[in-house]
Amino acid sequence: MTNGYSVGGDVVSWCTKCKLELGHTIIAIVDNKPVKVKCNTCNGQHNYRSAPAEQKKSTAKRAGRKRKTPEEIYNEHVTRLSSENVPVARKYRINDNFTVDDLIDHPKFGIGVVMAIVKTNKIETLFKDGPRLLIQNQ
Ligand SMILES: [Zn+2]
């Protein structure tokens, strides 16, 4: 027990109130790790935290707000449609008739998701490398 923690000893922990990494006094230990600490600055008692949890959360939120790449949007749609009603992509043919949310198996571009009917004979389809206009109803 030379480098172990002990109740009443000091440990650097993330303080949930001060929002800083500060010196804390250990109140409770489980499996040689501090679980409950008291902040030496604000005297607040809380669970031991080695990293700022809230900061991590806000970083994730910020990342979610950033513009998605076509590939990310594509992956979301394919994942959603694959788990829902359209498990298999239909082979693309120019004389076929597709609707929004159809999965298309294109010989050149791969699997695509129909995003919009542009005209009765044109569909906007999202492929892994971006959206493309395809002809239908020919
Ligand atoms: Zn504090």
d(CA 61, ligand 1 centre) in Å: 25
Task: Tokens 């998605």: give the residue.
Answer: 68
User: What pLDDT was estimated at residue 59?
Assistant: 56
Per-residue pLDDT 10s for the chain (138 aa) are 455 899 999 999 999 899 999 999 999 999 889 999 999 999 999 999 887 655 555 555 555 567 888 888 898 888 887 776 545 788 999 999 999 988 899 999 999 999 999 999 999 999 998 899 999 999
d(CA 22, ligand 1 centre) in Å: 7
By the 8 A CB rule, do 61 and 73 touch? no
d(CA 48, ligand 1 centre) in Å: 12
Domain segments of the chain as ranges: 10-63, 70-135
d(CA 36, ligand 1 centre) in Å: 13
Q: Which residues of 83-103 are buried (b: 16+ CB within 10 A; e: fewer)?
A: eeeeeebeebeeeeebeeebb
d(CA 3, ligand 1 centre) in Å: 25
Q: What is the pTM of this model?
A: 0.47
